[in-house]
Amino acid sequence: MALISLNSMPSTQIVLASTSPYRRELLSRLGLPFETANPATDETALYDELPEATALRLSEAKARAVAAQYPEALIIGSDQVAYLDGQIFGKPGDHENAVEQLKRMRGRTVNFFTGLCLLNAKTGKVHLRGVPTRVSFRKLSDDEIENYLRKEQPYNCAGSAKSEGLGIAMIAKMDGEDPNALIGLPLIALCDLLRNENVKII
């Protein structure tokens, strides 16, 4: 009979500042109880802001947006930016923009940067981490792009591609320290930040 240690349960409430089902599924892998909250944050990049700075700023902004609701919690915020040739590729929003993004990215290597924030709402302490991933896309035909978008409709994903779904078929190679980062929540970095706040994971 397996024994469950009460010490393995976090004494502090954990909140994921996201309504993304993909981030929720990733966080659930750690086996920690948590809640989700909608951060309702403006994700527009600032003028002349570097992509990495945008992702880090927005990850913290999302965490802070729900802090008033959870004043005793550890709050997780995450944001991802895709960029190529100095241009940020945000969430396309519709089919036309997604087609344009994928046509520009085909046959190219695109940088994805995932910003991660862990905010201790009780103490005000902020932990920030950035995780880069380089993604090389296949030389996709126009038909492949259209077929993919009709099947998956990734219009709420930065760069118009869901690597956790059919989007993996468009990718030739990935180079990064955490495959979960591309999906939207870098678990390796998150485990480090949670341990910094004395959360026992295993």
- Quote the strand ranges of the chain, DSSP E: 14-16, 35-36, 74-84, 87-89, 109-120, 126-137, 171-176
Q: And the tokens for 179?
A: 């495959």
Distance, in Å, from the CA atom of 83 to the CA atom of 50, rounded to the nearest integer, reads 10
Cα–Cα dist 53/182, whole Å: 17
Instruction: Examine the residue annotation and report whether 42 is marked as an active-site residue of this protein.
Output: no
For residue 66, give the 3-state DSSP assignment.
coil
Contact 148, 167 (CB under 8 A): yes
Q: What is the end-to-end Cα distance of the chain in Å, rounded? A: 18
- Catalytically annotated residue among 42, 48, 79, 192: 79
- Cα–Cα distance measured from residue 87 to residue 101, given in angstroms and rounded to the nearest whole number: 11
Structure tokens of 24? 């929720």
Report the alpha-carbon distance of residue 157 to residue 162 in Å, rounded.
7
What residues are annotated to the active site?
79
